[in-house]
Amino acid sequence: MPASAGIFVFVGTNVIHQCWRHHLDGDAMTALRWIVRGIIGLLVLVIGLIGLALLGTIVPFPFVASTAPASGPVIRIYVASNPIHTDIAIPVESRSVAQFAELAASGLPITHPEAEWLLVGWGGRSFYMETPSFNDIKPGPTFRALTLDAAVMHVDVLGPIDTSNPDLLPIDLDVQSYRVLLEAMSQSFTRKDGQVIPIPGYRLGPNDRFYEGEGWFNALLGCNTWTARMLRAAGLTTGLWNPLPQSLTLSLRLFNRLPPH
């Protein structure tokens, strides 16, 4: 290549480069900086939340166990998990039926002769009620779940359950701890004139009901942290912060003597 041609290519490339820089020195360069900062900020947030979730799993709460291991007669309950949500399964027996007698008055068949378990959970109103399966996920309920949403209680009446299901974590409670658990769960229902408040028009099956719940829901303090709080009331130790079913069940196994599955 002749020297003059080389000089021409060099000069032309330099001109293009300078024009590109000049073009980005304005609004485009500012926008690019904000995009880069946003991506970095999002990555830092995600990594931070993962770190906090791991830390919340391995740090016990309460820091000192509040009760001795169950002795004497025990009542077995289960923590039921799916990829994003946990419920507490309690047996249908005299104490649970007495504690939740008002649910029967609302039409929930807890006294049906084939009823064996109550599956009780707490969650965000929009996501819980409008997303019965992953196929039903919609932007509106998801946004409210990630920000702030009113709370609801959900109770399902079940017959026999497959206790060998790996999604069911067995927990044995003594009678007093079981009574405390029932009372704590009962207090999670909002009441008017001393009665729970059913939410008409919403159900996931033939034997369940939604009710107005106490508190507010968001993704960081959601259904799984409620489950953890109920279990701590009954004397169990959980992780300090359990936003996911996986972190909750792992912490329960780490810090408590659970029956074999």
- pLDDT 10s per residue in the chain (261 long)? 444 444 333 334 444 344 444 455 566 777 777 887 778 777 776 675 666 667 778 899 997 765 555 567 999 999 999 999 999 999 999 999 999 999 999 999 999 999 999 999 999 998 888 776 656 667 776 777 677 899 999 999 999 999 999 999 999 999 999 999 999 999 999 999 999 999 998 888 999 999 999 999 998 899 999 999 999 999 999 999 999 999 999 999 999 999 997
Q: What is the pTM of this model?
A: 0.80
Residues 6 or more apart whose Cβ sits within 8 Å of residue 242: 56, 57, 224, 225, 227, 228, 248, 251
What span, in angstroms and rounded, lies between the C-alpha atoms of 133 and 145? 15
CA atoms within 13 Å, Cβ hemisphere of 123: 23
Burial string for 107-138 (b: 16+ CB within 10 Å, else e) reads ebebeeeebebbbbbbbbbbbbbbbeeeeeee
Percent of residues in the chain assigned helix, strand, coil, to nearest 5: 45, 25, 30
How confident is the model at residue 36, as a pLDDT?
A: 76
How confident is the model at residue 10, as a pLDDT?
A: 36
How confident is the model at residue 63, as a pLDDT?
A: 78
How confident is the model at residue 2, as a pLDDT?
A: 44
Residues 6 or more apart whose Cβ sits within 8 Å of residue 239: 56, 57, 58, 59, 60, 61, 228, 247, 248, 250, 251, 254, 255
3-state secondary structure (DSSP) of residue 195? strand
How confident is the model at residue 108, as a pLDDT?
A: 97
How confident is the model at residue 216, as a pLDDT?
A: 95
